[in-house]
Amino acid sequence: MSVQLKLTDVQVNIAQEQGVRTLLDDVNLVLNQGDFVTVLGTNGAGKSTLFNAIAGTLPITAGQIEIAGHDVTKLNPEKRAKYIARVFQDPKLGTAPRMTVAENLALASHRGDRLKLKFQQVSKQREAYRTLAAKTGNGLDQALDKATEQLSGGQRQALSLLMASLKRPELLLLDEHTAALDPHTSQAIMALTAQIVAEQQLTGLMITHQMDDALQYGNRLIVLDNGRIIADYDADSKAKLTRQDLLDYFD
């Protein structure tokens, strides 16, 4: 089984008036192909810092980051986009608002490439995009010609998820991607997430504050605190966890 993500002694420090603050403290983490890992931690534990370090939007102070066997430590976020796709908490961040659903999907089909989007491609791929959008079950397939800014939050986040997974990334980062949604829509997006991850056998990290989602989804669970991984549960040990076990980390 191939290693898709490897963090070796990763550290992130930032300078503040009162001195240097450590956001990630010698983090070591290995994800194998097909691992779907939920990430828990209190506010300020380092979850978003971890994602930003992996994505390249926050430079690391020390250590090494490898994705699918490639050392990406010194690559900028644009070059890392060849390997990484990310879905954010805010549904507005993953799509181009004035472009239609079909145009957004066409754009996503060139993720990591030099942009040479030809819009006649949209009409050629229209039925494929309709079939793909129908997976969401929320009417997105009937809105291919609608501007993304006119979609509901759930539809827009579903589109972001489709776009992120369209080219089967080496690593999928789900950054609290259901946090801004109502409970019903959140459950639908999580079900769609699980379906896509399973069908494409994606390797992913998912930050969540939902204890039930952390227990239900993924084959592994890690807990961050003060920039360190303080717990790492494999599938067997995760299956034995209770909601209270996880809540104890937040006391």
Half-sphere exposure of 96 (CA within 13 A, CB side): 12
Give me the pLDDT at residue 116, please: 57
Give me the pLDDT at residue 121, please: 67
Give me the pLDDT at residue 109, please: 85
Series of mean pLDDT values for 10-residue runs along the chain (251 residues): 94 89 96 97 95 97 97 95 94 92 90 59 86 95 96 96 95 96 95 96 96 95 97 97 93 76
Give me the pLDDT at residue 66, please: 98
Give me the pLDDT at residue 17, please: 83
Exposed, middle or buried by CB within 10 Å (0-12, 13-18, 19+), for 244?
A: exposed
Q: Among all chains, which residue has been given the structure tokens 């819009």? A: 119
Give me the pLDDT at residue 117, please: 55
**Strand pairing class (228-233; 220-225):** antiparallel
Sheet (strand 171-175) strand order? 84-87, 171-175, 204-207, 36-40, 220-225, 228-233
Closest CA to 130 of 117, 122, 142: 142
* Three-class DSSP labels, the chain: CCEEEEEEEEEEEEEECCEEEEEEEEEEEEEECCCEEEEECCCCCCHHHHHHHHHCCCCCCEEEEEECCEECCCCCHHHHCCCEEEECCCHHHHCCCCCEHHHHHHHHCCCCCCCCCCCHHHHHCHHHHHHHHHCCCCCHHHCCCCEHHHCCHHHHHHHHHHHHHCCCCCEEEEECCCCCCCHHHHHHHHHHHHHHHHHHCCCEEEECCCHHHHHHCCCEEEEEECCEEEEEECHHHHHCCCHHHHHHHHC
CATH 3.40.50.300 occupies which residues in the chain?
A: 1-74+171-179+202-250, 84-168
Top-level class of domain 1-74+171-179+202-250? alpha beta
Q: Is the pTM of this model over 0.95?
A: no
Q: Can you name the CATH fold of 84-168?
A: Rossmann fold (3.40.50)
Q: Any residues with CB less than 8 A from the CB of 76 and at least 6 apart, and which?
A: 56
Any bridge partners for residue 100, and if so which? 147
Q: Among all chains, which residue has been given the structure tokens 């827009």? A: 156
Q: Any residues with CB less than 8 A from the CB of 140 and at least 6 apart, and which?
A: 101, 133, 134, 151, 155, 158, 159
Give me the pLDDT at residue 16, please: 84
